[in-house]
Amino acid sequence: MSRRRCRFRSCRRSHRRIPSLPPVDVEPEEVDAAPSPSPIPDPTPPTTTPTTPTPTTPTTPPDPEPVDTVALPPVVFEPDTGGGLVDPILSGTAEPGAEIRVQVQSDVVLSAASASAAVAEPDATADADGNWSLTYSGLPAGTHLLTVTQTDLAGNDSVPGIPVEVSLSSPQLVLEGIGRYVWRISFDGAPGATVQVLVDGAEYSRVVLDAEGDYTVRGLFDIPRDIMVTVRYTADERYGPTAVAERWWWADEASAPASLAG
Protein backbone atom coordinates (compact mmCIF):
# COMPACT_ATOMS: atom_id res chain seq x y z
CA MET A 1 0.00 0.00 0.00
CA SER A 2 1.46 3.35 -0.93
CA ARG A 3 1.55 6.26 1.53
CA ARG A 4 -0.29 9.22 0.48
CA ARG A 5 1.33 12.54 1.02
CA CYS A 6 -0.47 15.53 2.06
CA ARG A 7 -0.36 18.30 -0.35
CA PHE A 8 -0.67 21.04 2.26
CA ARG A 9 2.13 22.45 4.39
CA SER A 10 0.09 22.72 7.34
CA CYS A 11 -0.59 19.13 7.29
CA ARG A 12 3.01 18.27 7.06
CA ARG A 13 3.81 20.43 10.05
CA SER A 14 1.19 18.78 12.21
CA HIS A 15 2.64 15.44 11.58
CA ARG A 16 5.99 16.41 12.92
CA ARG A 17 7.12 14.54 15.93
CA ILE A 18 6.44 16.19 19.28
CA PRO A 19 9.33 15.94 21.68
CA SER A 20 8.64 14.01 24.87
CA LEU A 21 8.37 15.86 28.19
CA PRO A 22 10.01 14.82 31.41
CA PRO A 23 7.67 13.05 33.95
CA VAL A 24 6.09 15.13 36.69
CA ASP A 25 5.47 13.77 40.16
CA VAL A 26 1.86 14.48 41.25
CA GLU A 27 0.87 13.90 44.82
CA PRO A 28 -2.64 12.56 45.23
CA GLU A 29 -5.09 14.90 47.02
CA GLU A 30 -6.39 13.80 50.34
CA VAL A 31 -10.12 13.18 50.30
CA ASP A 32 -12.06 13.66 53.51
CA ALA A 33 -13.66 10.54 54.69
CA ALA A 34 -17.46 10.52 54.42
CA PRO A 35 -19.18 11.30 57.76
CA SER A 36 -20.49 8.36 59.66
CA PRO A 37 -24.25 8.05 59.31
CA SER A 38 -26.37 8.99 62.40
CA PRO A 39 -27.68 6.02 64.31
CA ILE A 40 -31.21 5.07 63.41
CA PRO A 41 -33.52 5.50 66.42
CA ASP A 42 -34.89 2.42 67.98
CA PRO A 43 -38.41 1.97 66.58
CA THR A 44 -39.52 0.21 69.77
CA PRO A 45 -42.38 2.26 71.38
CA PRO A 46 -42.01 3.48 74.96
CA THR A 47 -43.03 1.05 77.62
CA THR A 48 -44.88 3.72 79.74
CA THR A 49 -48.45 2.61 80.47
CA PRO A 50 -50.92 5.37 79.55
CA THR A 51 -53.04 6.64 82.48
CA THR A 52 -56.81 6.41 82.28
CA PRO A 53 -58.46 9.75 83.14
CA THR A 54 -60.66 9.65 86.24
CA PRO A 55 -64.25 10.54 85.33
CA THR A 56 -65.54 13.62 87.20
CA THR A 57 -68.95 13.61 88.80
CA PRO A 58 -70.96 16.64 87.70
CA THR A 59 -71.98 18.86 90.62
CA THR A 60 -75.69 19.46 91.11
CA PRO A 61 -76.51 23.17 91.34
CA PRO A 62 -78.32 24.18 94.55
CA ASP A 63 -82.06 24.53 94.41
CA PRO A 64 -83.15 28.14 93.92
CA GLU A 65 -84.58 29.94 96.92
CA PRO A 66 -88.38 29.63 96.93
CA VAL A 67 -90.22 32.85 96.14
CA ASP A 68 -93.04 33.76 98.53
CA THR A 69 -96.02 34.65 96.33
CA VAL A 70 -98.97 33.54 98.48
CA ALA A 71 -100.49 34.81 101.72
CA LEU A 72 -103.20 32.70 103.32
CA PRO A 73 -106.19 34.27 105.08
CA PRO A 74 -105.46 34.93 108.76
CA VAL A 75 -107.14 32.92 111.48
CA VAL A 76 -109.80 34.89 113.39
CA PHE A 77 -111.00 33.85 116.84
CA GLU A 78 -114.48 34.44 118.24
CA PRO A 79 -114.95 38.22 118.64
CA ASP A 80 -115.30 39.64 122.16
CA THR A 81 -118.21 42.11 122.24
CA GLY A 82 -118.93 42.07 125.97
CA GLY A 83 -122.20 40.28 125.31
CA GLY A 84 -123.05 42.40 122.26
CA LEU A 85 -122.80 45.69 124.17
CA VAL A 86 -119.42 47.22 123.22
CA ASP A 87 -116.96 47.48 120.33
CA PRO A 88 -115.66 44.04 119.35
CA ILE A 89 -112.14 42.91 120.07
CA LEU A 90 -110.85 40.82 117.15
CA SER A 91 -107.86 38.55 117.53
CA GLY A 92 -106.21 35.62 115.77
CA THR A 93 -103.02 34.45 114.10
CA ALA A 94 -101.26 35.34 110.86
CA GLU A 95 -97.79 35.38 109.37
CA PRO A 96 -95.26 37.11 111.66
CA GLY A 97 -95.07 40.80 110.87
CA ALA A 98 -98.14 40.76 108.61
CA GLU A 99 -100.48 43.76 108.46
CA ILE A 100 -104.10 43.01 109.40
CA ARG A 101 -107.09 44.77 107.84
CA VAL A 102 -110.80 44.43 108.55
CA GLN A 103 -113.68 44.81 106.11
CA VAL A 104 -117.29 45.26 107.20
CA GLN A 105 -120.63 44.21 105.75
CA SER A 106 -123.61 45.59 107.64
CA ASP A 107 -127.34 44.95 107.53
CA VAL A 108 -127.97 48.57 108.56
CA VAL A 109 -127.31 51.92 106.97
CA LEU A 110 -124.25 53.46 108.58
CA SER A 111 -124.49 56.98 109.89
CA ALA A 112 -121.97 59.51 108.64
CA ALA A 113 -119.85 59.19 111.78
CA SER A 114 -120.05 55.40 111.87
CA ALA A 115 -119.38 55.14 108.14
CA SER A 116 -116.20 57.19 108.42
CA ALA A 117 -115.03 55.05 111.33
CA ALA A 118 -115.84 51.85 109.45
CA VAL A 119 -114.10 52.98 106.29
CA ALA A 120 -110.98 53.79 108.30
CA GLU A 121 -110.66 50.05 108.95
CA PRO A 122 -108.30 49.91 111.91
CA ASP A 123 -105.10 47.98 111.28
CA ALA A 124 -102.96 45.73 113.44
CA THR A 125 -99.59 44.06 112.95
CA ALA A 126 -98.93 40.46 113.86
CA ASP A 127 -96.13 39.99 116.39
CA ALA A 128 -93.08 37.73 116.01
CA ASP A 129 -95.24 34.71 116.91
CA GLY A 130 -97.99 35.70 114.46
CA ASN A 131 -100.49 36.81 117.12
CA TRP A 132 -102.59 39.91 116.51
CA SER A 133 -105.44 41.77 118.23
CA LEU A 134 -107.42 44.97 117.62
CA THR A 135 -110.56 46.76 118.79
CA TYR A 136 -112.91 47.64 115.95
CA SER A 137 -114.82 50.77 116.86
CA GLY A 138 -117.56 52.82 115.25
CA LEU A 139 -120.05 50.09 114.35
CA PRO A 140 -123.74 50.99 114.77
CA ALA A 141 -126.27 48.75 116.48
CA GLY A 142 -127.20 45.75 114.36
CA THR A 143 -125.61 42.66 112.85
CA HIS A 144 -122.35 42.91 110.91
CA LEU A 145 -120.12 40.48 109.06
CA LEU A 146 -116.42 41.15 109.48
CA THR A 147 -113.78 39.68 107.18
CA VAL A 148 -110.06 39.93 107.86
CA THR A 149 -107.15 39.94 105.39
CA GLN A 150 -103.40 40.06 105.84
CA THR A 151 -100.51 41.49 103.84
CA ASP A 152 -97.32 39.56 104.55
CA LEU A 153 -93.79 40.94 104.63
CA ALA A 154 -93.30 39.98 100.97
CA GLY A 155 -96.21 42.25 100.02
CA ASN A 156 -98.65 39.45 99.21
CA ASP A 157 -102.33 40.16 99.96
CA SER A 158 -104.50 37.31 101.15
CA VAL A 159 -108.09 36.77 100.19
CA PRO A 160 -110.64 37.48 102.96
CA GLY A 161 -111.06 34.73 105.51
CA ILE A 162 -114.32 33.22 106.74
CA PRO A 163 -116.61 36.06 107.90
CA VAL A 164 -117.29 36.42 111.61
CA GLU A 165 -120.63 37.78 112.81
CA VAL A 166 -120.90 40.63 115.28
CA SER A 167 -124.24 41.79 116.76
CA LEU A 168 -124.38 44.97 118.83
CA SER A 169 -127.19 46.74 120.66
CA SER A 170 -127.79 50.08 122.34
CA PRO A 171 -129.79 51.00 125.47
CA GLN A 172 -132.93 53.11 125.22
CA LEU A 173 -133.52 56.44 126.94
CA VAL A 174 -136.90 58.19 127.15
CA LEU A 175 -137.20 61.80 128.30
CA GLU A 176 -140.76 62.72 129.39
CA GLY A 177 -141.57 66.37 130.06
CA ILE A 178 -144.27 68.91 130.72
CA GLY A 179 -143.69 72.41 129.48
CA ARG A 180 -139.99 73.18 129.41
CA TYR A 181 -138.89 70.67 132.08
CA VAL A 182 -138.17 66.94 131.96
CA TRP A 183 -140.16 65.21 134.68
CA ARG A 184 -139.05 61.61 134.18
CA ILE A 185 -135.99 59.89 132.70
CA SER A 186 -136.32 56.18 131.92
CA PHE A 187 -133.61 53.75 130.81
CA ASP A 188 -134.12 50.29 129.37
CA GLY A 189 -131.49 47.76 128.33
CA ALA A 190 -129.36 44.80 129.36
CA PRO A 191 -129.71 43.82 133.05
CA GLY A 192 -126.77 45.00 135.15
CA ALA A 193 -125.16 46.96 132.30
CA THR A 194 -123.57 50.38 132.71
CA VAL A 195 -125.02 53.14 130.51
CA GLN A 196 -123.22 56.35 129.66
CA VAL A 197 -125.32 59.49 129.05
CA LEU A 198 -123.90 62.11 126.67
CA VAL A 199 -125.16 65.64 126.16
CA ASP A 200 -123.99 67.14 122.87
CA GLY A 201 -121.29 64.45 122.71
CA ALA A 202 -119.83 65.01 126.18
CA GLU A 203 -120.34 62.63 129.09
CA TYR A 204 -123.07 63.82 131.45
CA SER A 205 -123.50 60.83 133.78
CA ARG A 206 -123.43 57.03 134.08
CA VAL A 207 -126.11 54.73 135.48
CA VAL A 208 -126.27 51.00 136.19
CA LEU A 209 -129.41 49.17 135.11
CA ASP A 210 -131.15 46.92 137.61
CA ALA A 211 -131.81 43.19 137.36
CA GLU A 212 -134.75 43.92 135.08
CA GLY A 213 -132.69 46.17 132.86
CA ASP A 214 -134.46 49.34 134.01
CA TYR A 215 -133.49 52.61 135.64
CA THR A 216 -135.91 55.49 136.30
CA VAL A 217 -135.35 58.99 137.69
CA ARG A 218 -138.18 61.40 138.59
CA GLY A 219 -137.82 65.15 139.16
CA LEU A 220 -137.56 68.43 137.34
CA PHE A 221 -134.63 68.60 134.92
CA ASP A 222 -133.95 71.59 132.75
CA ILE A 223 -132.93 69.86 129.52
CA PRO A 224 -133.51 72.16 126.52
CA ARG A 225 -135.08 70.48 123.54
CA ASP A 226 -132.43 71.70 121.11
CA ILE A 227 -129.56 69.76 122.71
CA MET A 228 -128.63 66.23 121.64
CA VAL A 229 -128.91 63.54 124.32
CA THR A 230 -127.51 60.08 123.52
CA VAL A 231 -126.76 56.90 125.46
CA ARG A 232 -124.47 53.89 124.99
CA TYR A 233 -123.16 50.91 126.92
CA THR A 234 -119.69 51.03 128.40
CA ALA A 235 -117.46 48.34 129.91
CA ASP A 236 -113.72 48.42 130.69
CA GLU A 237 -113.44 51.75 128.85
CA ARG A 238 -114.88 50.22 125.72
CA TYR A 239 -118.05 51.70 124.29
CA GLY A 240 -120.94 50.45 122.26
CA PRO A 241 -123.02 52.11 119.56
CA THR A 242 -124.96 55.20 120.58
CA ALA A 243 -128.71 55.75 120.47
CA VAL A 244 -130.53 59.07 120.49
CA ALA A 245 -132.90 59.65 123.41
CA GLU A 246 -136.61 59.74 122.67
CA ARG A 247 -138.56 62.76 123.82
CA TRP A 248 -142.18 62.56 124.93
CA TRP A 249 -143.58 66.00 125.61
CA TRP A 250 -146.88 67.41 126.84
CA ALA A 251 -147.97 70.98 126.89
CA ASP A 252 -149.36 70.94 130.46
CA GLU A 253 -150.19 68.64 133.35
CA ALA A 254 -153.79 68.23 132.16
CA SER A 255 -152.68 66.55 128.97
CA ALA A 256 -149.87 64.55 130.55
CA PRO A 257 -150.35 60.95 131.78
CA ALA A 258 -151.39 60.65 135.40
CA SER A 259 -148.30 58.58 136.16
CA LEU A 260 -146.13 61.46 135.02
CA ALA A 261 -148.08 64.41 136.50
CA GLY A 262 -148.80 62.66 139.76
120 and 189 in a single domain? The answer is no
Give per-residue burial for 207-240: e unless 16+ CB within 10 Å, then b: bebeeeeebeeeeeeebeeeeebbbbbbeeebbb
Domain contains 69? no
Report whether 164 contacts 134 (CB < 8 A).
Answer: no
* Residue 26 pLDDT class (50, 70, 90 cuts): low
Q: Residues near 91 by Cβ (< 8 Å), separated by ≥ 6?
A: 76, 77, 80, 131, 132, 133, 134
DSSP 143-184: EEEEEEEEE-TT-PBPPP---EEEEE---EEEEEEETTEEEE
Render pLDDT for 143-181 as a digit per residue (tens, 0 to 9): 999 999 999 999 999 999 899 999 999 999 999 988 888
Mean predicted confidence (pLDDT) in 50-76: 75
List the one residue out of 35, 76, 38, 67 whose CA is nearest residue 166.
76
* Residue 28 pLDDT class (50, 70, 90 cuts): low
With vertex at residue 28, the alpha carbon angle to CA 26 and CA 32, rounded to the nearest 5 degrees, is 155
Domain contains 20? no
Q: pLDDT over 90 for what percent of the chain? A: 50
Render pLDDT for 30-60 as a digit per residue (tens, 0 to 9): 655 556 666 666 666 556 666 777 777 767 7
Domains identified in the chain, total number:
2
Render pLDDT for 215-243 as a digit per residue (tens, 0 to 9): 999 988 888 888 899 999 999 999 999 99
157 and 193 in a single domain? The answer is no
Domain contains 52? no
Helix/strand/coil for 208: strand
pLDDT of 113 reads: 45
Instruction: Name the strands in the sheet holding 164-168, side by side, starting at the edge strand that comes first in the sequence.
Output: 124-125, 99-106, 142-151, 164-168
Report the C-alpha gap between 113 and 95 in whole angstroms. Answer: 33
Q: What are φ and ψ of residue 119, in 5° steps?
A: -65, -30
List the one residue out of 214, 203, 184, 208 whose CA is nearest residue 242.
203
pLDDT of 83 reads: 95
Q: Which of 168, 191, 206 is the last residue of a domain?
A: 168
Q: Which domain holds residue 220?
A: 172-261
CATH of the domain at 178: 2.60.40
* Residue 8 pLDDT class (50, 70, 90 cuts): very low
